[in-house]
Amino acid sequence: MSKRFFHLVYVRGADRAAPRRHAVTLIETMAALLLVAIALPVAMRGVSVAAGAADSARRRSEAAALAQSKMAQIVVNEDWKRGGTSGEFAAEWSGYRWESTVGDWTFTHVTQLDVTVSWDARGQANRVTLSTLVYDPPEDMPVGTATGGSSSSSSSAGSGK
What φ, ψ does residue 105 adopt, rounded to 5°? -115, 170
The hierarchical CATH code for the domain 53-158 is 3.30.1300
Q: Which of 71, 128, 117 is nearest to 95 (CA)?
A: 117
What's the pLDDT tens digit per position in 10-58?
A: 555 555 555 667 788 899 999 999 999 999 999 999 999 999 999 999 9
Give residue limits of the domains in the chain: 53-158
Q: What H or E segment, with its residue span, contains residue 54?
A: helix 26-76
How distant, in Å, are the alpha carbons of 36, 39, 56, 58, 123 from that of 46? Answer: 15, 11, 15, 18, 20
Mean pLDDT confidence for 125-141: 89
Claim: this prediction has a pTM higher than 0.75: no
